[in-house]
Amino acid sequence: MAVVTKEYNGAGPTATTITHLKHRSDDKYDNDATNPVPKPTVTGYGWWKTVGLYADAGADIYSDIKIYGGGDPAWTGATLYIGDETSDTYQQATGTIDGSGDEIVANHSQVTAKTSFFATYTNVNMKAVGLNGGGASLGPLGAPQRVSKYVFFQMTVTSSVVAGSLSNGTIYWRYSITS
């Protein structure tokens, strides 16, 4: 069955299948040049991003969902953080459009700490995400649904960030399937 990454935005939320996680100064999934994260005088933030692993209906049973980075892209003045907690509950991102997003630890009710994603989580040290609903396995699925808990990311930038787009960093999911 097809398994994809979805980004969740807005009050609904709206779930959108993504292949790129674009950090922005608004709560949208668009992979374009609008609403870039502005270069701050000290420290600023993109609006936090909420993602999850989503699967089609079928006989597959999912377990052991983890996430990790494909190497540190070594961005000058920018760091991608991941919330230390994952959750079954969605919370809409907040901030000032075309300004800074609200810092995730101070403003997201389910995130009490954050970790530098690429510097910490690798193929030998993956972050456990957990299954939607918290069980040890999930499936077979009678309808398409989110199979992972929500994962929360936030880009932090400092005054030393280079203007323009950063090089891509790679985010991987790892999970087990039995049929």
Write the pLDDT tens digit of every residue in 25-80.
Answer: 999 999 899 999 999 999 999 999 999 999 999 999 999 999 999 998 989 999 99
pLDDT on residue 163: 83
pLDDT on residue 165: 82
CB 66 within 8 Å of CB 126: yes
Instruction: Count the alpha carbons within 13 Å of 86 in the hemisphere toward its beta carbon.
Output: 19
DSSP state of 165: P
Q: Which residues pair with 62 in a beta bridge?
A: 138, 177
User: Is residue 93's pLDDT more than 90?
Assistant: yes
Q: Which residues pair with 156 in a beta bridge?
A: 45, 79
Kindly report the length of the chain: 179
* Averaged confidence pLDDT in the chain: 96
* More confidently predicted of 94 and 162: 94
